[in-house]
Amino acid sequence: PQGAARRQRVCSAAVALPSLCLRTVELYFSFTMDSDEETLLLVLLLIKKKRILNKKQKKKKPKTTLPLFCITQQTEFYKVKSYSDQKFQNYLRLSRKQFYELLSRLEPYIGKQNTTFKNTICAEERLFITLRFLAEGCSLTNLYHTYNRGLSTICAIVREVCRAIYENLHTIYIPELQEEDWLIIANGYYTKANFPNCLGAIDGKHIRVIKPEHSGSLYYNYKNYFSIVLLAICDSNYCFTYIDVGSYGKASDSQIFKNSNFYKRLHEQDLNIPNPLPITNDGPPVPFIFIGDEAFGISNFIQRPYAGNHLNEKKRIFNYRLSRARRYIECSFGIMANKWRILHRPINVQIPFAEDIVRACCVLHNLLRKTDSKQSSSNPTMLRYDLQNIQQNQNNHPQISATTIRDTLADYFVSPEGELSWQTMKI
């Protein structure tokens, strides 16, 4: 009976071990146990404690995906998909139809395969997150909280999708222009801006960035903040026909343009620019040109305003007419920045990432301009230029200086054929 009672106490103490601290059990043994029982229970205690320590030391495998309930019920992605069409468009800046057309083009490049160990984020959600980041201008940290995704995952998604948008869609929405395309642009400027032989307006826009490490003053611009430069050319429908992204903020527009691939190809006559055409019925052929502000140097391909404060009426009218045509590039920048509000605040990422963001915004800007059902046809009704006129004058384009081109245009703007009835009131 005494042995049975002892065994019963041993079992009771062993069961109680997980809930007792080591010191408590030792005291209990010292007052109530025989030596054999105490030894046995101490051994059991040490074994139990060893097992507990082993469990604590095991590394817990981190969860790579959220629980299904969190993903399907709590994230913004699934909530916004149920929005009305207008609310959906306000949220992403693209209509539902535009969104899914864009998704169909990008899915082969941004989609990921599910594996045995985890389910990947679908291409639809990846594009959704990126468009929201560009449209709202919110921080990556804000997206991390909104969509219940890891911060590094959000960063990787946004950069990958921005890069895919530019690399796979720029040939569609910012294509290489042919001679016929340039003539359509020239017709647009002649019809809408009353400016002949114009192939586009050129200007630079400073994109705010957080100062990169060890960059000194390279990105510090004359406006007293850090930036990279977007140099762009646009047509009369506010669509970009050329972009150059990533130059230092301290560089001038003219310097950036002269270092660009576009400038090199322009001087090598490798851009399919049409041959010169007269701007009056009996005038000499005048080259097709691009127009810029005072920051650009005058050349056979670029026209800028007359400099100085004491200009005669003809020169002031020329400056007004050039400024009137040049407003298209300024409006293009404004339309894009108001649509994709990431461009309204300093972009707090590495410079290559910021360049991917800006390029993606330019492609998306053109996508909206070209697919918006409210936009009128890009072909103006008044066709001043066509391929037949070019072919008839292909052998008739003598060299003409840049200042002569500007003077010829200035004369045209005050002639009965080229003047506007209200232009004198604007100078």
pLDDT score at 384: 76
| Kind plus residue range of the DSSP H or E element containing 202 | strand 198-208
CB 273 within 8 A of CB 288: yes
Higher-confidence residue of 314 and 141: namely 314
| Whether the predicted pLDDT of 67 surpasses 50 | no
pLDDT score at 227: 97
pLDDT score at 145: 84
Counting every residue written for the chain, the total comes to: 427
Residue for token pair 């909530």: 79
Residue 48 tokens read as 């139990």
pLDDT score at 45: 72
Tell me the domain boundaries of the chain: 2-57, 68-173, 179-426
For Cα atoms 161, 162, 168, give the angle at the middle one, nearest 5 degrees.
80
* Percentage with pLDDT > 70 across the chain: 80
| Kind plus residue range of the DSSP H or E element containing 398 | none
Q: Considering just the CA atoms, what is the radius of gyration of the chain in Å?
A: 35
Q: Which residues pair with 233 in a beta bridge?
A: 202, 242
pLDDT score at 301: 93
pLDDT score at 391: 60
CB 136 within 8 A of CB 125: no
Side chain identity at residue 160, one-letter code = E
| Kind plus residue range of the DSSP H or E element containing 231 | strand 227-234
Side chain identity at residue 194, one-letter code = N
Assign 382 a pLDDT band (cuts: 50, 70, 90).
Answer: low
pTM equals 0.80
CB burial of 199-232 (b: ≥16 within 10 Å; e: otherwise) equals bbbbbbbbbbbeeeeeeeeebbbeeeebbbbbbb
Model confidence pLDDT, tens digit, residues 135-150? 999 888 888 888 888 8
CA–CA separation, 257 vs 301, rounded Å?
Answer: 12
Q: What is the largest CA-CA distance in the chain?
A: 133
Residue 366 tokens read as 């053109």
Among 7-16, 21-30, 46-55, 224-233, which stretch is predicted with the lowest mean pLDDT? Answer: 21-30
Task: Of 272, 287, 294, give the one whose Cα is nearest residue 202.
Answer: 294
CB 239 within 8 A of CB 332: yes
pLDDT score at 146: 84
CB 217 within 8 A of CB 246: no
pLDDT score at 387: 66
Instruction: Specify the pairing of strand 285-286 against strand 289-291.
Output: unpaired
Among 99-103, 264-268, 377-381, which stretch is predicted with the lowest mean pLDDT? Answer: 377-381
CA–CA separation, 276 vs 366, rounded Å?
Answer: 28
The pLDDT mean for the chain works out to 85
Task: Provide the phi-psi class of 116: left if phi over 0, else alpha when psi is between -120 and 50, else beta.
Answer: alpha
Residue for token pair 């639809």: 124
Among 17-26, 167-176, 391-400, which stretch is predicted with the lowest mean pLDDT? Answer: 17-26
CA–CA separation, 422 vs 427, rounded Å?
Answer: 10
Alpha carbon 318 to its chain centroid, in Å, reads 36
Tell me the backbone φ, ψ of residue 156, rounded to 5 degrees.
-65, -40
Whole-Å CA distances, 295 to 98, 130, 216: 38, 35, 24
- Give the pLDDT mean for 318-344: 97
Half-sphere exposure of 316 (CA within 13 A, CB side): 10
Q: What is the DSSP letter of 23?
A: H
CA–CA separation, 88 vs 426, rounded Å?
Answer: 42
Higher-confidence residue of 208 and 12: namely 208
Instruction: Specify the pairing of strand 227-234 against strand 198-208.
Output: antiparallel
Model confidence pLDDT, tens digit, residues 97-146? 999 999 999 999 999 887 777 788 899 999 999 999 999 998 888 888 88
